[in-house]
Amino acid sequence: MSADQKDDESLPVEFGPAMQALPTDKQRRFVMALYDEEAPAKGDGLLIYAARAAGYGTATSTDKALSVMANRVVHDPRTRAAIAEYSHAVVRTLPPEAVKALKEVIRNPKHRDHMRAINAVIDRVDPVEHVVKVQDDRPPSLAATQEVLARIAELARRAGLPAPRPPIDAEYSVVEPGR
């Protein structure tokens, strides 16, 4: 077993299936390093940072060498799946920070998005309810019913389906509203 394949006690115990599918802890550390608070933005050396933080290369490895190593790791389909999985986990931990930031905007009436934040909260906490009532007051028509049934039979015949069964014959009466 190589040094990077042995278990690392500093890694979280519970990983999803994609993170578990990575063959080494070094790759898992690479994925997690992409989300470090001090990690630079993508395009500003994020992959090099993640490779270095995960333990790739040596103390004398150049950024170019780390870049090559990082690109090999990040383009592995297993790593891509692990990044997607880890992203979901990271996003799920953001609500406390998001709530704190939202509170700061709401508590500052001079903030340009003050009213937007208030409306967003109200829309989610007490959404406006719309009731749409569809009412057809036309009396049932035997002729219209026969036309609809004939059309259904014709479409079924064209589609090569068996003819629909005839409707159940029954007595009915129109009930007036309020009865």
**Per-residue pLDDT tens over the stretch 111-157:** 999 999 999 988 888 888 888 888 888 877 777 788 888 899 999 99
**What is the model's pTM?**
0.56
On whether the CB atoms of residues 41 and 56 are closer than 8 A, the answer is no
Domain ranges of the chain: 17-92, 95-125
21 vs 16: CA distance, rounded Å: 9
Q: Are 28 and 9 in contact (CB under 8 A)?
A: no
pLDDT digit string, tens, across residues 56-104: 999 999 999 999 999 999 999 999 999 999 998 888 888 888 889 999 9
Distance from C-alpha of 56 to C-alpha of 66, rounded to nearest angstrom: 7
